[in-house]
A = this chain, B = another copy of it.
Amino acid sequence: MPPLHEIAHLAHVELRTPVLDESVEFFTRYLGLTENGSAGDSVFLRAWDDYEQITIKLTGHATSGVGRTNLRAASPEALQRRVKELEATGRGIGWADGDPGYGQTYVFTDPDGHEFGLYYESEWYTPPAELAPSLKNQAQAYPSHGVAVRRLDHINYLGVEPVVNRDFLRDTLGALVTEQIVLNDGTVAGSWTTFTNKGYDAVYTRDRTGTPGRLHHIAFAVDTRDGILRAADIALEQGVHIETGPHKHAIQQTFFLYVYEPGGNRIELCNAGARLVLAPDWQPVNWSEAERAKGQAWGLKTIESFHTHGTPPVEEAS
């Protein structure tokens, strides 16, 4: 297995939406992201504390769902090492130009077919005067409207076989597996992995429909649990659909709120407090069916749509 920290962090993610204008409105007015250019059918959006150019690439598309997930390598050397390993898996697609502000990007897919891009070169964001922050250690002024999420936090894929995808991230990229759902028959129904000191950056949970390449949700970090409650208040007033929460996950102990953006993609607002995974020898915490049956941390039962809703939508088997 590769060493830890070969991947510096989860970087920008491409989300697809059949209603681009409404989705842009959601990301800017509700979440408080800022537009930072566009190209073709895509609008680039950024969270105020992202040092890079793009946090979300929102692309008009026939359906909802996730496009390319970008990861930043820890160094030029780490990039070369990872690419070599990826090529060996046969899952590599090859080098491509990055999005505006990003260097050459190596494109590949995980076994489930989700597309990834790995790069190192990145042009730091410099805000225009009207978005300049008052404190120089901050990428952009803190917005005073909407939820004002700080940064992208993690991505949760649906996967036909979570364990295969988890192994792929672990063995080619050096992801650390921090928590898992292990069913009574031994199947891994969910796996949480990290590249950083956060509890998780990339998650796979089982796609009950057996459809590859789908998305469960992407999550944005909010600074406080109180900010998540405020996010619920704003969702209520702005007519944003709340799926579940606010509540606290048992897994990873994340305080969460799940909403749907107009394109149908599930968006999480999350807060982990001061919790970090610092141990280099962290062993996966495995949750059994019996433990999961207790519900979330404070007893909330996981609602049915959380198990069934993914993007893009699929036809139910008859």
CB <8 Å contact, A225 and B229 = yes
Q: Are B251 and A137 in contact (CB under 8 A)?
A: yes
The answer to whether B150 and A298 have CB atoms under 8 Å apart is no
One of A61-69, A94-102, A104-112, A141-149 at the interface: A141-149
- Select from chain B the residue with minimum beta-carbon distance to A245: B298
Q: Is A151 positioned at the interface, with any CB of B under 8 Å from its CB?
A: yes
Of chain B, the residue at the smallest CB distance from A52 is B279
Nearest chain B CB to A221 CB, angstrom units: 4
User: Which residue of the partner chain B has the closest CB to A49?
Assistant: B275
Residues of chain B contacted by A252 (CB below 8 angstroms): 137
Query: Could you say which of B8, B255, B298 contacts A235, with CB atoms under 8 Å apart?
Result: B298
Contact with B along A212-250 (1 / 0, CB 8 A): 000000000111111101101111111100101111101
User: CA–CA, A85 to B167, complex, Å?
Assistant: 34
- Nearest Cβ in chain B — how far from A271, in angstroms? 7
What distance in Å separates the Cβ of A253 from its nearest Cβ neighbour in chain B? 6
A207 interface residue, CB < 8 Å from B?
Answer: no
Q: In the complex the two chains form, is B237's CB within 8 Å of A75's CB?
A: no
Q: Let me know if A133 is at the binding interface, CB within 8 A.
A: yes
Given the known interface contacts A222-B274, A242-B298, A273-B223, the answer about A135 and B280 at a Cβ–Cβ threshold of 8 Å is no
Q: How far is the CB of A135 from chain B (nearest CB, A)?
A: 6
Docked-complex contact B223 and A75, CB < 8 angstroms: no
Q: Mark A142-179, 1 if CB is under 8 A from B, else 0.
A: 10111100110100000000000000000000000001
Cα A144 to Cα B251 in complex, Å, equals: 21
Q: At the interface, yes or no: A309 with Cβ under 8 Å from chain B?
A: no
A179 in complex: contacting residue of B137, B197, B236, B245, CB < 8 Å = B137
Whole-angstrom distance between the Cβ of A171 and the nearest chain B Cβ: 17
Pairwise interchain contact B274-A136, C-beta atoms closer than 8 A = no
A234 in contact with B75 given A226-B224, A297-B135 (CB within 8 Å): no
The answer to the question of A272 belonging to the interface, with a C-beta cut-off of 8 Å to chain B, is yes
Interface residue ranges of A267-318 to B (CB < 8 Å): 271-276, 278-282, 285, 287, 291, 297-300
Q: Which residues of A contact B (CB under 8 A)?
A: 3-5, 8-9, 29-30, 49, 51-52, 72, 74-75, 122, 124, 133-138, 141-142, 144-147, 150-151, 153, 179, 196-198, 221-227, 229-230, 232-239, 242, 244-248, 250-253, 255, 271-276, 278-282, 285, 287, 291, 297-300
